[in-house]
Amino acid sequence: MSRKSASIKGFVMGMVLLVCIVTVFMLIRGAWFSPDEEAAAVVEEFYLFEQEGEFSSSWELFHSTMKERFKKGHYIQDRAHVFMNHFGVETFEFVMSEPEKIDQWKLSETGPSMENVYKILVTQTYKGTYGNFDLEQEVFAVQEKDEWKIVWNYNQ
């Protein structure tokens, strides 16, 4: 075997080993995160997208009931218009409370009952044309088809 083929073989073996290590890490990592951490992670991801004006990406994190409420194109336009244009801001800062588990919850009085829901209070801080202000909203994370999704409260 020549040095070149031995070198290529070593490189390929190294890459295979690296892929195996990364795969095992990803599998173990999934087992390490608790449901409340996963719920908080999706809420944080949602608001990081919103912070960057990536409303298409944040919309994708909505539960299907929210997607029915807001068509994607309308949501993208409306969020940019209201939050960025009206408030006169380019972005915002946000903080999140610790997740609070709720056994059963409804998006609205007539909506379906959802189980294993986590409530997180999100406070967005805007610094804009009309001064500085905070917007607080309870955000709910619920599993849908093994993925955590975002739901807002429409109860009266």
Query: What 3-state class would DSSP assign to 127?
Result: strand
Asked if residues 40 and 120 have their Cβ atoms less than 8 Å apart, the reply is yes
Mean pLDDT by 10 residues, the chain (156 residues): 64 58 52 87 97 95 95 93 80 95 88 91 91 94 95 86
**What tokens does 110 get?**
């007539």
The residue among 78, 71, 140, 74 whose CA lies nearest residue 111 is 140
Q: What are the residue ranges spanned by the domains of the chain?
A: 34-152
Q: For the chain, percent helix, then strand, then coil, each to nearest 5?
A: 45, 30, 20
User: pTM to 2 decimals?
Assistant: 0.76
Rounded CA-CA distance 44/120 in Å is 10
CATH architecture of 34-152: Roll (3.10)
